[in-house]
Amino acid sequence: MPQIEYKGKVFDVDEDGFIDSFDKWCPEWVEYVKESEGIQELTEEHWKVIHVLQDYYRKHGIAPMVRILTKVTGYKLKYIYELFPSGPGKGACKMAGLPKPTGCV
């Protein structure tokens, strides 16, 4: 399994760069993904999406579908792409520490 070292932490990741375990999510992981995604600063809106994804994952064991994410956050999909340029599945889920989504996220 590939590894990423960032600010003294080592993360095991899958072939797409998603962290191998939700339990290993930490501030350093968020910082790493933020930089790799080219996001300058995390806003309250970023954190709202991250927390919704994490809460849903804790309850259901999977990432929510896009329509659920947009409904719960109140953000249009276009706005989520503005927050996370690589999208809700790649950028937002990766930053939230979720495994790579398998369906329509």
Per-domain boundaries in the chain? 3-96
Helix (H) or strand (E) holding 5: strand 3-6
State whether CATH 1.10.10.370 applies to domain 3-96.
yes
Residues 93-103 have pLDDT tens digits of 999 999 998 76
pLDDT interval class at 20 (50, 70, 90): very high
Q: Which residues are catalytic?
A: 104
Could you give the angle at the alpha carbon of 68 between the alpha carbons of 44 and 71, nearest 5°?
60
Residues 32-69 have pLDDT tens digits of 999 999 999 999 999 999 999 999 999 999 999 999 99
